[in-house]
Amino acid sequence: MNILLHICCAPCAIYPVKILRAEGLEVMGFFYRHNIHPFTECLKRQEALASYAQTTSLRVIYQEGYDLEGFIQKIAFRESARCSICYHERLKATALMAKHGKYDYFSTTLLYSKFQKHNEIKAIGESVGKTVGIQFYYHDFREGWQEGVETSKGLGMYRQQYCGCIYSEKERYFKSRMLTIEPIEPFNNLTI
């Protein structure tokens, strides 16, 4: 039996790949790129994954192209629902590829993250699987959170500081930067 596993980044792939292999599945990775901004960050994550994949003999399909514009257009005016839209886009792309490639299952490393909306990812995966006609493989990979963190650090793997999209980059850095930036004359009497 084989499975197409959507991989968001190398650190998040370590534990799911180990478990899926232990369960007897042949794993093929799929790296989705449109939601990772800017492009230089996307390349850093892709390179980290390629390097890890080589050490563990994991085959990976790297998405072609980089549709940042299409991603932003889907989110615009629906920013509060952006993660739901993003999960759906990534899982739908994975399911369609898995169906086309005649895989038995599809799944995602998003199920490993303690910072993602786990139940929603599961629900979207199952729904997309029914629509496309391929089974979504569910496992609560969060049980291996600490193991994955320690392994990735031990390997010196690149570990990103924000989820992926430009909105999440702002959430990660904007508030903390604003607290430390000293206003410059003549604006130092204004509230920003």
Could you give the C-alpha distances from 53 to 50, 57, 79, 107, 184, in angstroms and in order? 5, 6, 33, 17, 48
Token pair 């303690």 is found at: 114
DSSP string, 123-177: HHHHHHHHHHTSEE----GGGGHHHHHHHHHHTT----SS-SSHHHHHHHHHHHH
* Chain residues in the site for ligand SF4 (CB under 6 A): 35, 82-83, 86, 163-165, 167-168
Q: How far is the CB of 64 from ligand SF4 (least distance, A)?
A: 19
Query: Nearest approach, Cβ of 130 to ligand SF4 (angstroms)?
Result: 22
Least CB distance to ligand SF4 at residue 4 (A): 19
| Smaller CB separation from ligand SF4, 3 or 33 | 33
Measured from the CB of residue 85, what is the shortest distance to ligand SF4 in angstroms? 7
Q: Which is nearer to ligand SF4, 8 or 25 (CB)?
A: 8
DSSP designation for 58: -
Q: Helix 82-100 and helix 118-132: axis angle, to 10°?
A: 40
- Contacts of residue 34, defined as CB under 8 A and 6 or more positions apart, other chains included, come to 63, 65, 66, 67, 68, 70, 71, 89
Q: Cα 151 vs. chain centroid, distance in angstroms? A: 18
Q: How far is it, in rounded angstroms, from Cα 80 to Cα 37?
A: 18
> Residue 47 Cβ, how far from ligand SF4 at the closest point, in Å?
19
Distance in Å, CB of 35 to ligand SF4, minimum: 4
- Of 10 and 83, which CB lies nearer to ligand SF4 in the complex structure? 83
User: In the complex with ligand SF4, which residue's Cβ is closer, 69 or 185?
Assistant: 69
Nearer Cβ to ligand SF4 (18/44): 44
Residue placing its CB nearer to ligand SF4 in the complex, 53 or 75? 75
